[in-house]
Structure 1
Amino acid sequence: MAYFDRQWGWGPPIENINDAMRGILSRERDGMDRYNWAMGLARYHALEFGQHSAVSIMDPIYIGKLLESDEVNIFHEPRVFEMIARYCLLNANEKDKVMHEMVKSLRLPLIRPQYIIDEIEPAVRPNGKCRELLKEAYRWHLVPEEREKMRLDSPVRTRPRNPYIRIISVGSHDMETCNILELYDTKEKEWNRMKDIEIDRTHTSSIMVDCRVMIVGGKVDGKPSGRVQCYDVITATMLEEEPLLTPRYNASLVTMGFGFATVLYVLGGRNEDGCLDSVEKWDPDNREWLYGKEMEFKREEFGVVAWDNRLWVAGGRCGDVWFETLEMFKPKKNKWKFRADMNQPRPYCKMVVAGYNFYAMGGYTEGEGERNLFTLERYDPYEDKWTLLANMNICSGPISVGAIGDKIIVFDGKPDENGQSRAEYFVDSNYKWLNFDPFKHHRANASIITIPYFMNRMRLAKR
């Protein structure tokens, strides 16, 4: 199998940023085609672009047009404010003139209130026009019943960004398909099977950590495994990491932090003694696993997300006990706390963060004659409340779930009567499910990994 280079974006960031800067600054001379191309480069490498020394001499209108785009490759909205604050600091003499032009490109209502109060309000309050934007953000948080009207009045500022990213699917409950790696391009709208990776077990859990796919635990010949493999998507090589302290399968993975400060958590699952409540976290500096604070309940096949510097765990099961409970963990306090229960128990629960909230879906009904759950629930962390939304159209077997911006994507656990995979996506503001491109090679309970902006190149092998 020959290796090939698959371009991730437009080449090395520094060269691209310089090209983008020249294209934007020479709009009058070189025309709109080059300008539009340069703005595309700047959106793709937005964080690096914001650190460029020449940004300070650019017209704030261009910066505003750049930052108001849905396709800006920034997943954390406060990062956008940091770019605005830096620009205003470099243009201190014209701060009052440029502040509103910049801040109106910010998705203020989608930023948590405490950050607005502590960081944003002190910087923008002296500007009268910016105060109106602050009022809009506070009204979004304090009067949730007006959010639908606000979505109509301010569709851009209340809509999560939808940046250009790619998706990896890996793993399965089936030994025949557990080593398949597929890649989806949101621009090309197509799945491509890449080089198969060497996985000798089923029921693994996978997640992206610092440009690498971590494949954790699993089941070999019916026994739990503590094996941890690391697939480097830059070099297309599989590496071995230190094994888990407790072998397990059906565990849930989540990361917190950014870049080299990313912390990987492995929660719950099952071993030969039954379900687990133990938590392990990966220490990237010493390359070792450490035990964390145990969850309140032993669980497997549950959902977990990281949101607002906290871990949120919901659903799952332990033997015949099926959970609807939600637990929240604050790393700084090293303490788990119960929050509002879901509307129904959910073994095989899946959770994703999409936009301002996070969502739980999938699973089975309780009692005799287990049936698939087609329901979708949204949790509002500020109100501590779950709300049932539009039912899914597909849900047979353990589903696979991911998110792009505010889109929730679900891949069915079983093929249809023609043996074809099925997939659909949900956008909360539209309140309906629409068809999405399914896997080319069907798998149940695959891990769905989204590739963020800093993945600049990818080197994989074609079959």
Structure 2
Amino acid sequence: MADASEEAVTPIYTYKECYDLINSLPGGTPKSDNAFKWARHNYAKFAEYSAFEELSADDLIELLHHDEVNAFNEETVFDPILRWLAVEKNKIWKLDIMKEVRIAAVAPKYLLDVVEPVCWEEYTADPKDPTCRRYYHNAIIWHLLPWRRDSINNRFSIPRKYFSRVLAVGGWDKATGVIEEYDTNSKQWTELKTMNIQRTFYGVGLVRDKLMFIGGRLKSHVNTVESYNIVTGELRKESSMNEVRDCPGVVVLDYEQPITVYAIGGMKNKDALKTVEKWDEESRTWTYVAPMNEARDGLGVVTLNNIIYACGGNNGNNEYHKSFESYDPKTDKWTMRAPMNRKRSYFKMATVGGMIYAFGGYGMGYGIVGLHTWERYDPITDLWTEMPKMEHYAAVGPGVMSGRIFYVGGGANQSAQSEGEEYDNNKGKWTKIAKLNVAREGITIVNVPYELLSTQLCQ
């Protein structure tokens, strides 16, 4: 393996840098064109950040005009637009923005519940201008009177060109080096690579074009770190953490430079850890930051709007947590938040649409049991809500594909699963998706920027 000090940072831009390119460069320059292309191909991720709401009307129109807005459906496109329109200075642009929405491509229920109120609000430049309402009526006609569709501009019904690169990485005990990729065209998982990774129960984070494998165990708990370049296949050593950590929570903050990686909690020998360490790509070393309020092994972690959230886990003595806390890197402080409804440990989390989700894991019943339950947290109301049960259970690997929640794998009692399900938020139920080729538990789902495996971003 190569020494980490020899490595040059790959010039792939962060989300904020791509936003800055969009917002500051004149139209028509190569970088500007590629920045808009990146934003279209990574629309769901880009829309999570406050930078999306800061886009000018011209930039948002430019972004929405193309078929190649990478979104599972038009509802996924429209939800962030609602946030953009809620900004006072943006309200006068509603009609111009609505012209770029594929309004007839949304589901009828969404059209009635979400789009109709927007088109009936009176914050347009001219309150008597019926243009937005005309779009809405055309969408109603499209759904209810299909024989009249020829009289309507069919551009408003054409779905976006949906594409995504989603990787299922490793597992806790078996097939730890296996990476599978989901093909959105065939809707199947294909085995992409098998890495020569010996450790188990490690944490995973994506930094530019490299997967980082952090802590875990070999013959004993380790503090070592390796990175795997998913383009070249090169595996190399990185600087080690200050402490050994088995099953740490790992998150990546990639909104600004330098990109930072956090290793949170985990197990050291027989003790659960409160401590947290941060790695950044400039120094490429680990430093301590403020510890959590509670020691957590097998915790769930996630980031939303540049805030880190950590919850659940156990204290190392088979006492499971449902407590929940958040960390602000700007203040270096952890804050307790509303606890989950259920105690859970060795579980994964995901975020979409401004909400946080905790999936499965293990809980305490008559002994340790695998959980079919999952729940949703709203950061605004500070409340958790139980969601419809999953068919599968325990340490499932949840992820998001252009705004839609799914999971694969899981299982308990040394019986790993390969099955998966996708959640339809409109119908409020799960449907089956393709199985993994290799059954495993404790998978990490990694959303890879669309162009990352073939070229660099925004260059």
TM-score with structure 2 setting the length? 0.70
Q: Distance in 2 between matches of 1:116 and 1:264?
A: 33
Shift of 1:370: 3.2
Q: Distance in 2 between matches of 1:148 and 1:346?
A: 37
Q: Which residue of 1 aligns with 2:288?
A: 291
Cα gap change, 1:313 to 1:181, in 2 (>3 Å): same
Q: Which residue of 1 aligns with 2:275?
A: 278
Instruction: Note the 1:16-165 alignment, pairs <5 A.
Output: 53-54=26-27, 73-77=43-47, 78-85=50-57, 87=59, 107-108=79-80, 111=83, 120-122=87-89, 124-125=90-91, 150-151=113-114, 153=116, 164-165=163-164
* TM-align CA RMSD: 3.9
1:153-187 deviations in Å (ceiling 9; x for gaps): 4799xxxx99522112222222x511212222223
Q: Which residue of 1 aligns with 2:432?
A: 435
Q: Distance in 2 between matches of 1:89 and 1:153?
A: 21
Contact 1:406 1:427 in 2 (8 A): no
Q: Distance in 2 between matches of 1:415 and 1:155?
A: 46
Q: Tell me, which stretches of 5 or more residues in structure 2 are unaligned?
A: 1-11, 13-17, 30-35, 63-76, 100-109, 120-159
Shift of 1:279: 0.5
1:81-139 deviations in Å (ceiling 9; x for gaps): 5554464999xxxxxxxxxxxxxx7645664xxx877xx423x3555858999xxxxxx
Cα gap change, 1:274 to 1:149, in 2 (>3 Å): farther
Aligned length: 367
Q: Of residues 312, 320, 335 in structure 1, which corresponds to 2:309? A: 312
Cα gap change, 1:416 to 1:220, in 2 (>3 Å): closer
Shift of 1:440: 0.2
Q: Which amino acid aligns with 2:212?
A: M
Cα gap change, 1:180 to 1:131, in 2 (>3 Å): closer
Q: Of residues 179, 197, 200 in structure 2, which corresponds to 1:199? A: 197
Cα gap change, 1:456 to 1:361, in 2 (>3 Å): closer
Q: Distance in 2 between matches of 1:337 and 1:408?
A: 27
Q: Distance in 1 between matches of 2:184 and 2:98?
A: 36
Q: Distance in 1 between matches of 2:94 and 2:438?
A: 56
Identity among equivalent positions (%) equals: 25
Q: Of residues 348, 351, 359 in structure 2, which corresponds to 1:350? A: 348
Contact 1:406 1:428 in 2 (8 A): no
Q: Distance in 2 between matches of 1:349 and 1:183?
A: 21
1:312-335 deviations in Å (ceiling 9; x for gaps): 111111122111111011111211
Shift of 1:434: 0.7
Shift of 1:416: 12
Q: Which residue of 1 aligns with 2:186?
A: 188
Contact 1:354 1:404 in 2 (8 A): no
SS of aligned partner of 2:342: coil
Instruction: Note the 1:360-371 alignment, pairs <5 A.
Output: 360-371=358-369
Q: Distance in 2 between matches of 1:188 and 1:434?
A: 17
SS of aligned partner of 2:447: strand
Q: Which amino acid aligns with 1:336?
A: W
Q: Which residue of 1 aligns with 2:140?
A: none
Q: Which residue of 1 aligns with 2:5?
A: none
Q: Distance in 2 between matches of 1:419 and 1:364?
A: 14
Contact 1:215 1:228 in 2 (8 A): yes
Q: Which residue of 1 aligns with 2:384?
A: 386
Shift of 1:457: 0.8
Shift of 1:294: 0.2
Contact 1:400 1:410 in 2 (8 A): yes
Q: Which residue of 1 aligns with 2:400?
A: 403
Cα gap change, 1:410 to 1:288, in 2 (>3 Å): same
Shift of 1:190: 2.1
Cα gap change, 1:48 to 1:416, in 2 (>3 Å): farther
Shift of 1:270: 0.3
Shift of 1:268: 0.4
Cα gap change, 1:349 to 1:52, in 2 (>3 Å): same
Shift of 1:419: 8.4
